[in-house]
Amino acid sequence: MSAPLCKKEFYIQKFDFEHAGKAASDARKLLMDYGFDQQIVRRVAIAAYEAEMNMVIHGYGGTLILEINFEYIQLVAEDNGPGISDLKLAMQEGFSTASDEIREIGFGAGMGLPNIKRCVNFLGIETKPGRGTVVTMRVNLGPDAL
Amino acid sequence: MNLYDVASKLDATILTPKLDLSRQVYCAYGADLLSDVLAFTRPSTLLLSGLINIQVVRTAEMAELGGIVVVRGKPVHHSLQELACACKIPLLWTELTMFESCGRLYQSGIKPCIKDAGCDCHVCPSV
Ligand SMILES: Nc1ncnc2c1ncn2[C@@H]1O[C@H](COP(=O)(O)OP(=O)(O)OP(=O)(O)O)[C@@H](O)[C@H]1O
Ligand SMILES: [Mg+2]
B50 in Cβ contact with B74 (< 8 Å): yes
pLDDT digits (tens, 9 = 90+) for A41-94: 999 999 999 999 999 999 999 999 999 999 999 999 999 999 999 999 999 999
A31-64 as b/e, with b when 16 or more CB fall inside 10 Å?
A: beeeebeeebbbbbbbbbbbbbbbbbbbbbebbb
To test the contact with chain B by mutation, choose from A42, A49, A103 the residue with the greatest count of B C-beta atoms within 10 A, namely A49
| Beta-ladder partners of A138 | A74, A122
Distance CA A44, CA A37 (A): 11
Distance CA A30, CA A22 (A): 12
Residue B45, domain extent: 3-112
- For residue B42, the 8-state DSSP code is -
To test the contact with chain B by mutation, choose from A53, A102, A117, A118 the residue with the greatest count of B C-beta atoms within 10 A, namely A53
What's the confidence (pLDDT) of residue A142? Answer: 81
B97 in Cβ contact with B72 (< 8 Å): yes
A53 in Cβ contact with A20 (< 8 Å): yes
Q: Which residue of A has its CA nearest to B54?
A: A18
**A1 part of a folded domain:** no
- Over residues B85-101, the mean pLDDT reads 98
pLDDT band at B127 (very low <50, low <70, confident <90, very high): very low
Distance CA B26, CA B53 (A): 25
Chain B nearest CA to A1, separation (Å)? 30
Ligand 1 in reach of A80 Cβ (< 6 A) = no
Both ends of chain A: CA-CA distance in Å? 23
- For residue A99, the 8-state DSSP code is -
Chain A nearest CA to B64, separation (Å)? 7
pLDDT band at A3 (very low <50, low <70, confident <90, very high): confident
Distance CA B8, CA A102 (A): 33
* CB within 8 Å: B58 and A46: no
**B124 part of a folded domain:** no
pLDDT digits (tens, 9 = 90+) for A95-142: 999 999 999 999 999 999 999 999 999 999 999 999 999 999 999 998
Q: What amino acid is encoded at A119 in this protein?
A: C
Distance CA B56, CA B81 (A): 11
Q: State phi, psi for B81 to the nearest 5 degrees.
A: -60, -45
Q: What is the pTM of this model?
A: 0.94
**A74 part of a folded domain:** yes
**B100 part of a folded domain:** yes
pLDDT digits (tens, 9 = 90+) for B41-56: 999 999 999 999 999 9
pLDDT digits (tens, 9 = 90+) for A8-31: 999 999 999 999 999 999 999 999
| Residue B78's CATH number | 3.40.1390.20
Kindly list the residues from chain A whose CB atom is less than 8 angstroms away from the CB atom of residue B33.
103, 106-109, 111
**B9 part of a folded domain:** yes
| Residue A75's CATH number | 3.30.565.10
Rg over CA atoms, chain B: 13
Tally of domains within chain A: 1
* CB within 8 Å: B35 and A110: yes
Tally of domains within chain B: 1
pLDDT band at B114 (very low <50, low <70, confident <90, very high): confident
**A33 part of a folded domain:** yes
Q: State phi, psi for A76 to the nearest 5 degrees.
A: -125, 125
Residue A122, domain extent: 6-144
